[in-house]
Chain A
Amino acid sequence: MHLSRRGFLAFVGSTTALAQSKPALAWKSKAPSDPLGCLVDITRCIGCRKCEQACNEVNHLPEPEIPFDDPRVLSSPRRPNNTAYTVVNSYSTGKLDDQSKPIPNFVKIQCMHCQDPACVSACITGALTKLENGTVHYNVHRCIGCRYCMVACPFEIPAYDYFDPLTPEVRKCTFCLERLEEGKPPGCASICPTEAITFGRRETLLQLAHQRLEEDPGRYYNHIYGEHEAGGTSWLYIAGQPFHKLGFLDVPDAPLPQRSESIQHGLFSYLWSPIVLFGLLGLSMKLTHGQDKDNKEGK
């Protein structure tokens, strides 16, 4: 092993210089400032599953085993999967109507299109991206199928083509990006007969949601799911019941990428720590190099 002393010291020197130039690394949100979104008003949803059908058609998904006009599927909770990007579940929370029948709450689930999406931060190749219009977009041509996005998503949304041996895809709500780009609302929002899904700018939707909560406090539980969850999401919900009773997941308010990205960048921006470590180890190697002459083998 050879090691030139001068080259080496120069190296250690540059290392230290680099370490000192390390900038302050505060994490910054990369959320678009004026994204589109949807407000789902659970008190308006009648569980007709028309949105499921529209979604199926817009995204060219396979025909389901049980037809969309069969309401029986509502009774046991489902999750979006690789053949259905949105599903409606029914939850009864014990409240009764005038004829003392339990009042169902219908909850539509799909990708929340987070403002700072964990899936986007996690994706190894950048196959998932947050677009300026709010859509969290999946580009299959970059995907390797590592499924880290699925591990990362706090809403547990992305699904996988597990039975495709060679070209499986990650599947989730596309926000009907093509329709959005044509200036049309997403399929599910435009078909809804009771206007339970309002499409618009996130800011406007938040105002609308607050307005509804204020105007009819008896009808609504005082929380907008998605206003702060996971640092804010493009899809928002208001409901007549506490959200945890309606199958909504517990998700912290801090954007999920914040912690992991701070660690990643704190340790590795400009590769400062590996370079410093390299310098220190090299120094140690240099210092102990002479000690072994007697004991060194064959080289």
Chain B
Amino acid sequence: MKKYIAKRLLTAIPVLLMISIAAFIMINLAPGDPTNLYVMPDATPEQMEATRRALGLDQSYPVQYMRWLTRALRGDLGISYSTRYPVLPILVSRIGPTVALMGTTLLVSYIIAIPLGIISARKQGTWVDTLLTGGAFIGVSIPNFFLGLGLIYIFAVQLKWFPTGGMLELGGNASILSVLHHLVLPVAVLSTFYIANMTRYVRSTMIDVYGENYIRTATAKGLTKQVILTRHGIRNALIPIITIIGTDLPRLVGGAIVTEQIFQWPGLGRLTILAINQREYPMLMAITLLSAVVVLLVNLLVDMMYAVVDPRIKYD
């Protein structure tokens, strides 16, 4: 197992390199020039050139990339153009809120979705199932921005139950309760898709599992429905469900960008939008790389979870 993990981590290096090159090309291909944002509108060409040089944008692309890479390998991810602060601490300060948002979202989603999916499958064809599958269908179809604005309008603007955005109250009340209060709406928005998607998936997986011969064996043994469900049903359904968890996490990175923007959540998603708008090239490179590392780690984690759940899978 250790050998396997080491191998996976080693193969991740070239992958990350390729991603950094692709990200570098895409960022530089995008229209817009950061220089324009950091000089006065009436700047002379000489001033423009000086700024360009100061930002390191006067060099050829390969040289720029190599310079970025050698610095990045030493742990220096560059400087934010607008604030003149190093990128890394800014990035790190944004991780906490995003992890809180994503973690809560996934936790809430799975705690709700897995039982719903099981109920839907066990009541297949009844009105309960129809209701749940119908709800799940709406859930996966509804766009985040639409749902977000709708919830803000109803629960924040009209009912005033929850704040319209942000993570902390003005004045800096940072109590857990206050953060949770701010979390409710963004988590509701983000988790809608994951609840709906996972419910559908758990349902179809459970239906498949209950069609398997070993469930028939378990029934023929005279086990109770409860035991059949927990020891034989769910345990085997977990294997395909882990696959979905593995795809949920990377998808969440994208979903968080929109949701954080709508709710003014001070996380990586908002930082991304900010960095794009201000052409913060080093910041964008750092965010892309961080996302890539997270996705690769999640994939590794998922593959290891398979080995835990499924005795047929061994990595030696």
A, B assembled together: no
Query: Which residues of B pack against A, CB within 8 Å?
Result: none
Query: Which residues of A pack against B, CB within 8 Å?
Result: none
